[in-house]
Amino acid sequence: MTPFDEAFHASAERHERAFIVCVIVMMALLTVATMFYVVHDFGLVTTTQSFHSDPTAAEREVAAADTGRVVKTGPNSYAVHITGKAWRWTPGVIHVPEGAEVTFYVTSSDVLHGFEIQGTPVNLTAVPGVVGTVKYTFHRTGVFRIICNEYCGMMHHAMIGQVIVDARAAE
Amino acid sequence: MSGRAFTPGPVVYPVETDEGWRPERRMMLLFLIAGFCALLIGASIGPLQALNYDGVNAYPALRSIFHTYYQGLTVHGVLNGYVFTFFVTCGLLVYLPARELGQRPSMALWGACFGLMAVGALSLIYAMFDNSSSVLWTFYPPLKGSPFFYLGMTILTLGSVQPLPVLLKMRAAWKRAHPGCVTPLVTYMSLVTMLMWALAGVGALSELILQLDPWSLGLIGTIDPMINRTLFWLTGHPIVYFWLMPAYISWYGLLSRQAGGKLASDPMARMTFALLLIFSLPVGSHHQFSDPGFSQIWRAILVVLTMSVAIPSIITAFTLGLSLEYAGRMRGGSGLVGWFRALPWSDPSVAAQVLGALTFILGGATGIVNGSWELDAIVHNTTFVPGHFHVTVGSVTAMTFMGLAFWMIPHLTGRKLISRRIALFSVWTWFVGMSIFAIGMQWAGLYGLPRRAWVSALPHDTYHALYGVAATPTTLIAVGGVILWVATYSFFLVFFGTLLFGRRADRPAVPFAQALSGPVSHETGVAIPVATGHGASVLANRLEHVWALVGLTAVATVAAYVPILWPFLHNVTHSPGWVLW
Ligand code: HEM
Ligand SMILES: [Cu+2]
Ligand SMILES: [Cu+2]
């Protein structure tokens, strides 16, 4: 090794060690920040309501739970049951009040679909035979689009539903 | 900055003196050509998809080739993601170690690798072009393609693990000839990559062989979507390392030499590969953060593992940067950025790899976004995700392989590149186009633009109502796509032009890099054996025990997947298949 090589190598080793320490600290901090959401669950994390061996049973369960209507489950909470089937969401239009906690129960009766509400972090895979749930509170009135974001065939791009958030009637 | 002049022009590679490798060179050339033919088809389709997102629907005009956008997308994903990368990698990871060790590979096994992959690829191509299998490259059931698709995929994957026994045999023979010596670096990295891939392949192969093949043949009636999706991602995550590790091999093993310098740290290169082996297997289900059926605890563990797998890549960035800095300073560059300017930018092979590495800054950073589960909720299955992986596999891997082709074709055929200028032009346009494209895709994803969606087929008003807000980023997507078309065809002009019309010239030797520290040295293109315990670092010695690493990885993978699969195995859904295109 030339003197330049020696000097370069020595300095490289020092920097390398410092760099690795920095990387590990950074990733640890990121991990801790992410973990915060495990402890403090905002409801957005997909959870599982039930499993079924018959892929249409989940649809029936959801239907029995009154598909097409938004069910009031508490003073300021609502449940919505939704099924994806190529290529539409049932119900296709949902009205929910502003500021209420809405729990979505989502399943599919044929292939995989993706339940994405544009402009929100709601993002859940609709799987035949499995009912998944997420919770979300809409703080803004207006029309939100439900976009299927898991490929489901020829008209996948046209599988669009709507969540309409209504202003609260003055109480 | 400083007035000191630096050495201009490319680094001159030593001339190949060993003329005894004819069959190996030919086989390597076959792998290279097959891989790049797949890329030619795949990359020709890519810009059509980019235009789609800007509302331009080219597919009605292409009806004689593609019935739907989704058929074209299946071809793009399968040919680029699997066929291109597998062929180049399976050639390279045998050829480079063979030359490094000076050991003959088993031509029968290596040839079988090529044969199997060729049969698999042709079967896939048949099934995709007859529109029987527009299931996309992830082929999630219960969408149901034709048996030619699944059988082709099975055979292609089986073929892609064949380099492992070839490598093991060569390494064993070399070790017998040099008892007590450390495996030379490029061979070590290739071996770890293939071990990783062979372990990873268990997921997709068991999905295919136990479920999808018999299902598509009508031997079993129904299928469970979650089990198969989970098995797919057991392979589907490590595959991204099967895309990246060959590029890292080129960066660690060759690029520093091509740039006129030395590899900064040999033991660190080995450690990076060992970490990639261990961490890439157990984390596959981080692609399922949005799926039901996962306990919160497991999601949390997956986040930790995912963050850990970023560490070796960040170390690679550091070591690569150091090696390039050394090269730049050896060439007379000085100051804070002078060394970077002093790199041999006029060598298209160096330019391709360094520019590819630069895009990885964006690719790696956005990968960390995907890996953080609550951020993932915002971007999951939006165009953010393909935006992310086009600045990993679409730039790091594709550009490094393009760079490899620029020295390898002259090396293998004894023909000079027909035009260094066009080669450089293709590399720069790819870099610029891919960066613009990826930024557009990621930005558009934040508006909820879904991936894998033929949005240009929507009625005009609907498209604008839904995605009009993303007009600026979707324009970037289209612009990037068109630039990439130019890049693709100028690259292939050089590629095929050189193969057919290149002038005869001396063959450059394989540019194996020497390490600044650590056990490996290549004075003449063949590794000089370094005995363990003499000059070999402690770390390199420890990492020689590859089977221990494999065992550790296997245990970690089983530990991760048993709890994940448990609820699915106890709640099997019997889904019939659907053909919906
Ligand atoms: C010529 C430049 C390229 C362009 C313009 C391009 C464009 C695109 C676009 C727009 C998508 C998203 C399509 C969608 O989600 O609907 C896509 C998907 C994809 N691309 Fe590329 N691409 C290019 C090159 C590559 C390369 C070089 C690779 C890999 C080596 C690659 C691998 C993939 C894969 C695996 C997918 C995912 C397909 C899927 O979601 O099913 N692409 N590409
Ligand atoms: Cu869909
Ligand atoms: Cu992954």
What does the DSSP assignment read for B190-241? Answer: HHHHHHHHHHHHHHHHHIIIIIIHHHHTTSS--B-HHHHHHHHHHHHTHHHH
Atom of ligand 1 nearest to the CA of B437: 5
CA B276 remoteness from chain centre: 14
CA B51 remoteness from chain centre: 25
B227, part of any domain: yes
**Residues from chain B contacting residue A123 (CB–CB below 8 Å):** 290, 376-378, 380-381
Among the bound ligands, name the one nearest to the CA of residue A156.
2
Nearest CA to ligand 1 atom 16: B452
Successive 10-residue mean pLDDT values, chain B, 581 residues: 54 81 94 97 96 94 92 96 97 95 93 97 96 94 94 97 96 90 91 96 94 94 92 93 94 89 84 89 86 80 81 83 86 84 91 94 84 81 94 94 96 93 96 96 93 94 92 96 96 96 91 73 65 65 89 89 86 89 88
Q: Do A112 and B140 touch (CB under 8 A)?
A: yes
What does A12-56 look like in DSSP terms, one character per residue? Answer: HHHHHHHHHHHHHHHHHHHHHHHHHHHHS--S-S-EEEEE-SSTT
B344, part of any domain: yes
What was the pLDDT predicted at A48? 66
Q: What is the mean pLDDT of residues A93-107?
A: 90
What was the pLDDT predicted at B19? 78
**Residues from chain B contacting residue A42 (CB–CB below 8 Å):** 374
Q: Is the pLDDT of residue A68 over 80?
A: no
Q: Is the pLDDT of residue A30 over 80?
A: no
B226, part of any domain: yes
Q: How far is Cα B138 from Cα B377, in angstroms, rounded to an integer? A: 20
Q: What is the mean pLDDT of residues A64-83?
A: 78
Of B76, B171, B380, B390, catalytic: B390
- The pairing of strands A70-74 and A77-85 is antiparallel
Q: How far is Cα B55 from Cα B65, in angstroms, rounded to an integer? A: 20
**For residue A154, which phi and psi values (nearest 5 degrees)?**
-40, -45
What was the pLDDT predicted at B568? 86
Q: Give catalytic status of residue B69 as yes or no.
A: no
8 A C-beta contact, residue B39 and residue B84: yes
Of B149, B389, B406, B568, catalytic: B389
Long-range contacts of A19-26 (CB under 8 A, 24+ apart): A19/B315, A19/B318, A20/B315, A23/B311, A23/B314, A23/B315, A24/B311
8 A C-beta contact, residue B429 and residue B486: yes
| Architecture of the domain delimited by A43-166 | Sandwich (2.60)
Among the bound ligands, name the one nearest to the CA of residue B240.
3
Q: Give catalytic status of residue B380 as yes or no.
A: no
8 A C-beta contact, residue B93 and residue B246: yes
B6, part of any domain: no
What was the pLDDT predicted at A62? 60
Among the bound ligands, name the one nearest to the CA of residue B309.
3
Query: How many structural domains are present in chain B?
Result: 1
Q: Which of A122, A119, A107, A113 is nearest to A149 (CA)?
A: A113
Q: Which of B507, B409, B347, B413 is nearest to B15 (CA)?
A: B507
Percent of chain A with pLDDT over 90: 26
Q: How many CA atoms lie within 13 A of B390 on its CB side?
A: 30
Atom of ligand 1 nearest to the CA of B395: 27
Q: Is the pLDDT of residue A151 over 60?
A: yes
B579, part of any domain: no
B12, part of any domain: no
3-state secondary structure B163-196: HHHHHHHHHHHHHHHCCCECCCHHHHHHHHHHHH
Radius of gyration of chain A (CA): 23
Higher pLDDT, A9 or B136: B136
- The pairing of strands A47-51 and A70-74 is unpaired
What was the pLDDT predicted at A65? 56
How far, in Å, are B75, B109, B164, B197 from residue B161 at the CA level? 22, 11, 6, 7
What was the pLDDT predicted at A52? 67
B344 cis-preceded (ω within 30 degrees of 0): no
**Containing structural domain, residue B227:** 20-570
Look up the CATH number of the domain holding residue B387.
Answer: 1.20.210.10
Q: What is the mean pLDDT of residues A81-95?
A: 89
Radius of gyration of chain B (CA): 23
**Residues from chain A contacting residue B515 (CB–CB below 8 Å):** none
B443, part of any domain: yes
CA of B136 to the centre of ligand 3 (A): 17
- The pairing of strands A93-97 and A160-166 is parallel
Q: Give catalytic status of residue B237 as yes or no.
A: yes
The torsion angle over the Cα atoms of residues B5, B11, B12 and B17, rounded to 10 degrees, is 150
In three-state secondary structure terms, B480 is helix
Q: Do B303 and A27 touch (CB under 8 A)?
A: no
How far, in Å, are A148, B8, B60, B300, B354 from residue B256 at the CA level? 46, 17, 48, 39, 10
Predicted TM-score (pTM) of this structure: 0.93
Q: Identify the sign of the CA torsion B198, B199, B200, B201.
A: positive
Higher pLDDT, B299 or A163: A163
Residue with tokens 């963050």: B307
B581, part of any domain: no
Q: How far is Cα B348 from Cα B346, in angstroms, rounded to an integer? A: 6
Q: Which of B124, B94, B118 is nearest to B33 (CA)?
A: B118
Highest mean pLDDT: which of A28-32, A51-55, B68-72, B539-543?
B68-72
Find which of B229, B368, B575 to mutate to test the A interface (most A CBs within 10 Å of its CB): B575
Q: How high is the ipTM of this complex?
A: 0.88
8 A C-beta contact, residue A44 and residue B374: yes
Among partner residues A35, A121, A131, which is closest to B377 by beta-carbon distance? A121
B-facing residues of A in 12-51 (CB < 8 A) are: 12-13, 15-16, 19-20, 23-24, 27-28, 30-31, 33-35, 37-38, 41-42, 44-49, 51
Residue A116: beta bridge partners?
A123, A147
Q: Do B225 and A129 touch (CB under 8 A)?
A: yes
